[in-house]
Amino acid sequence: MNQERVALVTGSATGIGRATAWRLAERGFAVTINYSKSKEDAEETADGVRTRGAKALLFPANVADDSAVRAMIERTVEEFGGLNVLVNNAATTYFIPHDDLDGLTDQVWEDILNVNLKGTFFGCRAAMPHLKTRRGNIVNIASVAGVAGSGSSIAYAASKGAVITLTKSLARAFAPEVRVNAVAPGPVQTRWLADHQDMVEQAMKLTPLKRPATADDVADVALFLADGTSLMTGQVLVVDGGRTI
Cα gap 18→15, rounded to integer Å:
5
**Are the beta carbons of 148 and 154 closer than 8 angstroms?**
no
Q: Is 35 considered catalytic here?
A: no
Cα gap 2→162, rounded to integer Å:
37
Among residues 63, 156, 162, 239, the one annotated as catalytic is 156
What are the angstrom distances between the C-alpha of 239 and each of 15, 87, 132, 212, 232?
15, 16, 28, 9, 17
Q: Count the helices and strands in the chain (H runs, E runs).
A: 9, 7
**Are the beta carbons of 21 and 224 closer than 8 angstroms?**
no
DSSP per-residue string spanning 230-241: SS--S-EEEEST
Residue in 87, 73, 116 with CA at minimum distance from that of residue 179: 87
List, in sequence order, the alpha helices (H) in 83-204. Answer: 106-112, 119-134, 145-148, 154-174, 197-204
The catalytic residue positions are 156
